[in-house]
Amino acid sequence: MKKAIFKAAAAVGLCLLAANAALAQTWPTRPIRLLVGYPPGGGSDVSARVTAQAMEKTLGQSIVVENRPGAVSLLAAQYVAKSDPDGYTIHFGNVTGFNPVFLKEGIDAAKVLEPITNLQVGGLIFATKGNAPYSNLQELVAWSKANPGKLNFASVAPSADLYMGVFKSRVGLDYVSVPYKGDAPIIQALLAGEADVALSNTLAVWPQVQAGKLKALWVSRSTRSSIAPNLPTLAELGVQGVVWEFYLGLWGPKGMPAIAIQRVNAAGVAAVKQPDIIEQYKKFGADSMGTTPEETMRAYVNEMKFWVEAAKLANYQPQ
């Protein structure tokens, strides 16, 4: 009886090995669907399409980009999470914004998705009005403490306020948060002197800095930006653990075959090394990456540690 069970188990094992070997030789055998959680024409959509086109050459299969906008990419991610984990349905984009820390109905990417690679990273620039009496972090903090309640921070709530809450806890900055609806009105407020400081999109603020109309103090990223290479990070200024980065990457459904993860990763990493892709990403204020699945998950975990801390400090409740 025991011998029969052993033989049956061995046969099953051999069948699985054969199936995996066959999969390794043939995957992918049909087009791959790439789900984007934003409307056509935006930065995420354009990035997805140029990246997909480059990846097709490596994979030997077409990649069909599908737009499923809504709830900061939640709808697209949910669709991928519930799809067949065969590797033919993949999410392109950021997977932090729809976490339960932010959304009541959100999902934790680490629990329902498989990390494949981060393709690009972007961040924000902390800028001040051109005639501000401070030109670096030390001067800014000193001025705010000497003039309590007078430093107006132009905010796009809630993310900017959460980020600044952690920053305040580290350096003791004294400021008043003033809400704005986006980067364009924030830049106008800085130029008009209505706002003193702000965190803004690199592409929105950098031209004004180069023109001498605004001053930039640092980037919110963990590394310097190729677009503004002279701007330091907060870590370089001695402030640790206050990082706000935007990753766009590839994630598959939980249980996606290892060979599929490996091959999609290789195709993505190869794509973002191409000069035309690097330049295309720069047009949206981002730098090319190309990470391993392990590095991709580690970046996500570190991001969420920061936002969990930020939410606790602000007593923030998911919307």
| Residue 17, pLDDT above cutoff 80 | no
Q: Identify the CA nearest to 122 among candidates 296, 303, 286.
A: 286
* Tens of pLDDT, residues 278-301: 999 999 999 999 999 999 999 999
| 3 state DSSP class of 316 | coil
The pLDDT of residue 16 is 44
Q: How do residues 173-182 score in pLDDT, each as one tens digit?
A: 999 999 999 9
Percentage of residues of the chain with pLDDT beyond 90? 91
Place 229 in a pLDDT band, splitting at 50, 70 and 90.
very high
The yes-or-no verdict on residue 18 having pLDDT over 70 is: no
Number of residues assigned to the chain: 319
Average pLDDT score over residue span 130-154: 97
Q: Is residue 266 a contact partner of residue 292, using CB atoms and an 8 Å limit?
A: no
Q: In the predicted model, is pLDDT for residue 3 greater than 90?
A: no
* Arithmetic mean of pLDDT over the chain: 93
pLDDT digits (tens, 9 = 90+) for 103-128: 999 999 999 999 999 999 999 999 99
What pLDDT is recorded for position 26? Answer: 86
What's the whole-number mean pLDDT along residues 200-211? 95
- Residue 10: the pLDDT is 53
Yes or no: say if 209 and 127 are a contact pair by the CB < 8 Å rule: yes
Are 265 and 44 in contact by the 8 Å Cβ rule? The answer is no
Q: Where are the beta strands (DSSP E) in the chain?
A: 32-36, 63-67, 89-93, 113-129, 152-155, 176-179, 197-201, 214-219, 245-253, 286-288
SS3 category, 7: helix
Phi/psi for 299 (5° steps) reads -65, -40
State the pLDDT at residue 157.
76
Q: What pTM does this model have?
A: 0.89
Ordered by where they begin, the domains of the chain are 30-122+245-314 (3.40.190.150), 123-219 (3.40.190.10)
Identify which of 150, 306, 157 has the alpha carbon closest to the alpha carbon of residue 220. 306
**Separation CA 24–CA 240 (nearest Å):** 43
H helix runs in 27-108, sequence order: 43-59, 74-82
Q: Identify whether the C-beta of residue 81 lies closer than 8 Å to the C-beta of residue 111.
A: no
How much is the pLDDT for 144? 97
CA distance 87 to 259: 9
Helix (H, G, I), strand (E, B) or coil at 165: helix
**Beta bridge partners of residue 253, listed in sequence order:** 113
